[in-house]
Structure 1
């Protein structure tokens, strides 16, 4: 098995968290504080650069280049493709933060805004759009596009290092093993953070529906049971387990959102979407580069920097998975499908759930924000409990989180298996099982070391070195796209010349 060092490092962290969770939590917190203080600006600039780069590729002359042969058709239908990339990219996170993030910002808004005011409510929705909109999907899109481009147009393998091959620097070429190792580590900890959040929320849902106590013991048990489920799904393969579970996810998520939209404050939800979208577009650049050098505030680090690190840590996993299922699509179609469409879906989701929760808090004086401050993982169920058919919707939401949990886990197992076997598109089941156990172990270890805070901390710490790899991947993609376009133009000119010669005879 390749990439032995990342697997050993992951195992050490798992054992550390189990044997001495307090020291793991305190050590990682110190490292995270240093990273957010000294490198927060780097995350902001890199992610904004990826946004601009992805939009340029989609709107430029290079957008017609196909990921594969010119006559190839997409490997999956558009609905199946979108369902898989959406479930792998954001599933658990959207459900977890759909209510809790807007209400968290409403109670503790960005610097300069007074809490529990209309301005705080507007900022809460605007920053929720910002954290879950174009920026994260641009990170995924560029990383996935780089991998897919070299995989399908250059006949490469499914490895992160393969997508840096267009760079002429010998030092970069010698670092391929390091790049793949960093991708494995970032993927493992990023996915484990999301699975840990999923366990917290499943526990919250089971508490509301069945009275299961909210405890670390219950959450560890949930991780063990669901790990068995996503390992089983991963072993069954993409075409069956992951594809069908992702499609089920989308149907259940759409059904739950539709119920809340119809049974909740429908007009308020529409107004929220309209107003927030306008504010998001107006404040886009300012939010993208906002730091607080002259104000003592941890808000940017705790939210924006954490999110950008989270998306970067997820990018090798989501990127490899999206590349795996995106053969036959043009660059323009790929970017629109992986940036614009999911962003719109996220905007709708936050408008429905965040808008409903804020409406209850402001106009009905229901203490939703107090529930959020008490336990983030139960915020969604507290809100649903105030609505007609609330108990039924809580059951649906619990099932949704569970299925998202499984799809994220089985997708991660597939990707980690690909990276640790030299890029094989279908790793051996033994490899998938090993990675499934390791991911579950990381999630359990981090929960024991400090719950949600430890999960967030690990994500930021292990995403930093991979940020430099993402920059190199974007540069390599630019060189490769430019060269392939020039080659196609030369081929077309040669074909036209031959046709003229033939016609003149």
Structure 2
């Protein structure tokens, strides 16, 4: 297998700053300072401005976001069955990580806290409020399949594919084979050339992606503090309030900062492996001692409905569904995943050295989504069962989007009661920690342009996100929600960064395959 080649132009563009690119640090750090400062000065004005931008983006660009995810998934699937998919990532004959460690990191990093937060509440919400794609009467047995199918749509194949399939292939080729930096700007290199790699333009591109991830990661960190604080109060009588939330943030921050500082082969993979074992244990208990037959039937029906109604759900717009529903569900989630796309792709490319392109795409875009649907069925499907039988009633809580209440209520109704609820709170905490450590690491990679970034940069970003969550929580959890909405706005520039991968992804794959002697397809990659 050939060694890395470094074109002179690329060498000139890949200079590294020991503590980061000043443009990226200035813009992304400036965003944190300005958001917090303006929130302290006039939180209502900030919330109103971002809310208006959020609504406009959802209304005007929602269909574009949906189309981007659809094309990414289908092109990635076509690439996965092509001859080029046998090419290996990173000029390694054997993988750096074992299969279990690798899959554990992918699952924990990409599913992360969001999937745990919504796994219990979202299926129940769609059960008590029938999604626009379906016409079953809410709260009935007939509504179960549609409720799960809609949840699968938001957290399934499309969501995962945009997080690390085509983009990861592009980054893997240009970084490992051509020596370009492992940064979002490299995604645009095949189209615009080296001018994007040097100077402030590349810094702005990278900063947009960092800001999107900061907005998307601080949200789960802050929401976790409120959820765990609420859970400990309900289960153990611990005083609920900002002091408890602050202690939770300190503990959480200490865990994921330590994990990020020790790196992928130590802290990050150890935390991911532990979380996978805990999730498997919880899943087994739910399945064996819970409503086993109901869950089995619900999964088969829900997944079948997901497949048969896939395009109908994926292409639904505000013309055929209520605008508020599209804004707060499909468009919000799809924009959230787009915002994470470049940095998740960097992380996937970094941990996948020695894997084939086929393995990388199938793990991210097929295996992980299927595992996610199983998890949503076990946790959310159990909640639907309890709601259907009258054991719990979350209609009012979910109509008010109180997903922390939903998670705890379902957890307490599961086998084991309080112990199960505490285990799920622990699982949620570690899931968020795996998001925090992987994104601290990925942001550090972007800032330094090096796939083994300075430990100080990793620690800085981990602490910065926890500190931002603490300040915003002091103002009230509503301000965390405002920041969460901001990721939909940041998805606009990030989507343009992802867009070229629809054609540069297959081009990069065939370039890797030619280099490794696996195909003789004519060379078509731009700037290769």
- TM-score normalised by structure 2 residue count: 0.87
Equivalent residues of 2:156, 2:369 under 8 A apart: yes
- Displacement of 1:428 after TM fit? 2.2
- Displacement of 1:474 after TM fit? 3.5
Distance in 2 of aligned mates of 1:221 and 1:19: 26
Aligned equivalent of 2:43, options 8, 11, 21: 21
- Structure 1 position 379 matched with structure 2 position 406: yes
Distance in 2 of aligned mates of 1:336 and 1:456: 29
Partner of 2:498: 470
- Displacement of 1:225 after TM fit? 3.1
Partner of 1:278: 304
Deviations 1:271-312 (Å, cap 9, x if unpaired)? 011111111110111111111315543111110000001111
Aligned equivalent of 2:174, options 133, 140, 150: 150
Cα separation, partners in 2 of 1:406 and 1:169, compared to 1, 3 Å: closer
- Structure 1 position 49 matched with structure 2 position 76: no
Aligned equivalent of 2:185, options 153, 161, 165: 161
Partner of 2:103: 82
What SS does the aligned partner of 1:358 have? helix
- Displacement of 1:451 after TM fit? 5.0
- Structure 1 position 134 matched with structure 2 position 157: yes
Cα separation, partners in 2 of 1:488 and 1:416, compared to 1, 3 Å: closer
Structure 1 unaligned spans of 5+: 494-505
Aligned equivalent of 2:264, options 222, 225, 238: 238
- Displacement of 1:76 after TM fit? 0.1
Partner of 1:396: 423
Moved more, 144-153 or 349-358: 144-153
Distance in 2 of aligned mates of 1:217 and 1:373: 28
Cα separation, partners in 2 of 1:279 and 1:184, compared to 1, 3 Å: same
Partner of 2:4: none
- The CA RMSD measured in Å over matched residues stands at 2.3
Partner of 1:407: 434
Cα separation, partners in 2 of 1:299 and 1:64, compared to 1, 3 Å: same
Structure 2 unaligned spans of 5+: 1-19, 522-528
Equivalent residues of 2:188, 2:500 under 8 A apart: yes
Equivalent residues of 1:201, 1:377 under 8 A apart: yes
Equivalent residues of 2:88, 2:354 under 8 A apart: yes
Deviations 1:363-391 (Å, cap 9, x if unpaired)? 24521334444631121221122233111
- Structure 1 position 188 matched with structure 2 position 211: no
Partner of 1:99: 120
Deviations 1:216-249 (Å, cap 9, x if unpaired)? 5543442233123221222222211111001000
Partner of 1:459: 487
Cα separation, partners in 2 of 1:361 and 1:195, compared to 1, 3 Å: same
Moved more, 77-86 or 11-20: 11-20
- Structure 1 position 330 matched with structure 2 position 356: yes
- Displacement of 1:455 after TM fit? 4.1
1:200-211 pair list within 5 angstroms? 200-211=226-237
Equivalent residues of 1:167, 1:479 under 8 A apart: no
Cα separation, partners in 2 of 1:491 and 1:384, compared to 1, 3 Å: closer
Cα separation, partners in 2 of 1:307 and 1:391, compared to 1, 3 Å: same
What SS does the aligned partner of 2:304 have? helix
Equivalent residues of 2:87, 2:516 under 8 A apart: no
Distance in 2 of aligned mates of 1:295 and 1:403: 36
Distance in 2 of aligned mates of 1:408 and 1:294: 35
Cα separation, partners in 2 of 1:39 and 1:167, compared to 1, 3 Å: same
- TM-score normalised by structure 1 residue count: 0.91
- Displacement of 1:30 after TM fit? 1.0
Aligned equivalent of 1:66, options 88, 101, 112: 88
- Displacement of 1:472 after TM fit? 2.3
Aligned equivalent of 1:479, options 499, 507, 521: 507
Moved more, 72-81 or 189-198: 189-198
Moved more, 102-111 or 36-45: 102-111
- Structure 1 position 430 matched with structure 2 position 451: no
Distance in 2 of aligned mates of 1:109 and 1:216: 36
Cα separation, partners in 2 of 1:180 and 1:58, compared to 1, 3 Å: same
Cα separation, partners in 2 of 1:119 and 1:29, compared to 1, 3 Å: farther
What SS does the aligned partner of 1:385 have? helix
Equivalent residues of 2:54, 2:488 under 8 A apart: yes
What SS does the aligned partner of 2:329 have? helix
What SS does the aligned partner of 2:285 have? helix
- Structure 1 position 347 matched with structure 2 position 368: no
- Displacement of 1:189 after TM fit? 1.1
Distance in 1 of aligned mates of 2:350 and 2:294: 40
What SS does the aligned partner of 1:68 have? helix
Cα separation, partners in 2 of 1:288 and 1:360, compared to 1, 3 Å: same
